Amino acid sequence: MTRSLSFHNRRVLVIGAGVIGSETAKMFLDLGSQVAVWDKDSNRLHLDHLASNVFPFEVDITDYQSTKTCFVETTKVLGGLDILVNCAGIAKSQSLAEITPHDWSQVMAVNLNAAFFVSQLAVPILKTAGGGSIINIGSISGLRGELNFAHYSASKFALIGLTQSMAKEFGKDQIRVNCVCPGALDSPMNDLVLKRKQRLEYVSRETAIEQLLAATPLGRFCTPTDIANAVCFLSSELASFITGEVLAVTGGLN
């Protein structure tokens, strides 16, 4: 049987309209999907340039009741749901002593709790559709501990555990759950990594970039398109027997 990357009439919800979310939404649209995108920042939801069949929703994903209300409205607009991509995330570079209860709770609320609760809402809809795909966006920081990123690393490690647990629980319902872990991504979040390196190693920004690229065998930063490619592959029929897996898109950085 011929399989493809076509997503004609697939109904997709992308959580987070940052560089990864926007590029992922665009790729799904290009492949024939209807796409809803959530973000707390209305300035990041001006997605009209992508296509007419993209539906932006302004919502605070750390507020459960708002999330639940928006989810009902989203699935009504889309007419159901086939694919969920959890890619909202925040990071803070802080030593262990600097992390306050608020810092810890905020990182966990965005990076882990929101993915859990939106997935919990999505599962019954995906079951009704006869199955579907959930993709969580993790990080290389969820594959190894990172200096001064204790809360961020912890949230991304936990996201991988959530991914694997859900894959086992809902495989019988033909719901596949996988995680994509970017490496050093060309994005504003990567600035935190570079600034941390500058601060701790007393090097210039240029040197920090050179050293990070030198540690990456493919010699470049990861791009949002690299991640969107991985998300679309794992959501497609080409990956119909893949679930509970972690795909590291790092260019060999480890």
Separation of alpha carbons 228 and 118, rounded Å: 20
**Beta strand segments in the chain, E:** 11-15, 34-39, 54-58, 83-86, 132-137, 175-182, 246-249
Instruction: At 124, list the tokens.
Output: 């019954």
Distances (CA, A) of 175 to 35, 68, 80, 129, 144: 19, 20, 15, 10, 27
Separation of alpha carbons 24 and 38, rounded Å: 13
Give the 3-state secondary structure of residue 148: coil
Query: Does the annotation mark 152 as catalytic?
Result: yes
Give the 3-state secondary structure of residue 230: helix
Give the 3-state secondary structure of residue 141: helix
Separation of alpha carbons 180 and 232, rounded Å: 11
- In the chain, the N- to C-terminal Cα span, in Å, equals 37
Q: Indicate which residue of 7, 28, 152, 170 is catalytic.
A: 152
188-201 helix and 205-214 helix, angle to the nearest 10 degrees: 100
Catalytic residues: 152
